[in-house]
Amino acid sequence: MEEVVAATCMRVEGEMEVIMAEALAVRHGLMKAMKVGFTSLVIEMDNLSVYSKLMKRRQETSTLGSILHDIHVLASQYLCVSFSFVKREGNGVAHVLAKLSCNFEGLRVWLEEYPPEAQAAVMADFSASSD
């Protein structure tokens, strides 16, 4: 039986490009997973631009490039990290958490549970992964 071991969301003030928000979310996830004690991760994302840039590992002299570099440095501290691209339909929990972050001040972390608003998305992801 699959289960949710952790969920997190964090409100970020201001406007930003989608690619930047996705990269920040990946970095945030890596940092929080490390604090919880995970040693191996599979990071799924539905932003093909971020995924492609992470796979190419090219140095970019930009704010986005700096965040991508941080992601690689953090990933190197795990025993195993893999990045995978999934269609948006397969990434429903992430979208629910992103929307929920607007309702909170600062950081929220759930361990061995998730917010009730994510129930349908969690069940859909579990169902899709068992097909």
pLDDT, tens digit, for every residue of 12-54?
Answer: 777 788 899 889 999 999 998 998 899 999 888 889 999 999 9
Is 65 among the domain residues?
yes
Q: What is the C-alpha to C-alpha distance for residues 76 and 70, in angstroms, rounded to an integer? A: 10
Q: What is the C-alpha to C-alpha distance for residues 20 and 61, in angstroms, rounded to an integer? A: 14
Count Cβ neighbours within 10 Å for each residue of 59-74 and write b for 16 or more, e otherwise: eeeeebeebbebbeeb
What is the pLDDT of the chain when averaged over all its residues? 85
Is the pLDDT score of 131 beyond 70?
A: no
Confidence at 76, pLDDT banded by 50, 70, 90? very high
Q: What is the mean pLDDT of residues 73-88?
A: 91
Is 35 among the domain residues?
yes
Q: What is the mean pLDDT of residues 67-80?
A: 95
pLDDT at 31: 93
Could you tell me if 108 and 8 are in contact, meaning their C-beta atoms sit under 8 angstroms apart? Answer: yes
Is 49 among the domain residues?
yes
Beta-bridge mates of residue 44: 84
Quick one: CA dihedral 52, 56, 32, 102, positive or negative? negative
Number of domains composing the chain: 1
Count Cβ neighbours within 10 Å for each residue of 106-121 and write b for 16 or more, e otherwise: eebeeeeebbeebeeb
Out of 3-7, 49-53, 85-89, the most confident range is 49-53
Q: What is the C-alpha to C-alpha distance for residues 40 and 83, in angstroms, rounded to an integer? A: 11
Q: Note the pTM of the prediction, 2 decimals.
A: 0.82
Confidence at 57, pLDDT banded by 50, 70, 90? confident
| Residue 99 lies in domain | 6-130
pLDDT at 2: 59
Q: What is the mean pLDDT of residues 85-97?
A: 80
The domain that contains 86 carries what CATH number?
3.30.420.10
Is 1 among the domain residues?
no
Tokens of 63: 């704010």
Is the pLDDT score of 1 beyond 50?
A: no
Is 85 among the domain residues?
yes
